[in-house]
Amino acid sequence: MSLPVTYAPKAFRWLNGIFAVYKPADVPHYPFVSSIVDKLVLDINSLEQRPQKKRVVFKRQSEIEDSDHPVDESNQSHVGQLENTLKPVCVPDWFDHPLVQGPRFRHSDFELLCGTTLDVKACGVLVVGLKDLGSDLIKRFDRAKLPRKYLAHGHLGLASLSATGETKIVERSTWQHVTADKIARILMHIQGTHRKASIRQTGVDLSTQKAYELASEGLLKPQQYCGPIILDLKLVEFKPPKFGIEVTCIDEACSDIRRLIHEIGLILKTNAICTYVQRQQDGPFLYDDPNTLLLRQINVQRVLESMTYFRHVLTPGMLKRHTHFRNETLVLPDPVSKAPTQTLLTAASDTQDNGVTTDDDTLLEELSETSVGG
């Protein structure tokens, strides 16, 4: 918005939509969300407030000081009668005074709903919806299953209880045989396995024209939850024993990203822990976008500007719920695959069970031989 908002009731009506904030690491989710609302409440109460309400009382004519219509001295006989006449008068309602009622806007006036949340140790972009319109957009945004991009850092040669550096280190192993090429080949294998598994879960005949059109539009994806699906993996940094990968996925949690780092270490005949998780993109929301607000930048004016920007970014087609998938033909995963001990690479075995062959089946054996030889 070009003009600043100075009237609080008007600003409160406009605070109804979706915007993005950047959540720092080591900050719990609920205190962070509460801080957002606190800053909005504090700022909107500093704007111009509505006038104090008035109430109607009945006063005698003698108690009303009406300088515009003085009593005519020629009608002195009616003065006594006029003094006993009651007249309605508007006076300030002191019960509505801010010193009596408190601030005009309170924490309970702002209904805030977040999209896919981040855990305590993760940081990155977080999509937030305010009030009724924001809550509806958040729900439609989650149903659209737009891909999210993460940056994860790992440390080779270490194993902990939670695959992070926050818990006790239970094992140390050698990592000098690991190279960037080996990690890149592992990532290509995982990416190909997940892509094949995601296509099988769509329930669409891949030999039809509809499947081609859906794939060209990026809509060929499962419409029901079947675990995290990795769409793209890329090695962005390798400074042994530290490395960094870029993960693009859907239906994931931060714990799945950390488990992926742990499994990469196991495949490389070593161990690995995850030291850093950052969500860089959530659909059209970017972590480095100027309209993605930091906590210290949150106020009424900046939030309204962010809502206005993302209102044009979120096109109606992006949030449309597609119903072209044949849900009755969806091949749902085995209930065992939803167990916490299930790894992200078991989709390869599922692919073999369904009669689909892959050229990457011998990759793990080849990498194991080269790892031992190194």
Catalytic residue numbers read 119
Give the rounded distance of the alpha carbon of 181 from its chain centre.
Answer: 34
Contact 223, 115 (CB under 8 A): no
Contact 190, 230 (CB under 8 A): yes
Task: Tell me how far apart the alpha carbons of residues 50 and 269 are, in angstroms, rounded to a whole number.
Answer: 68
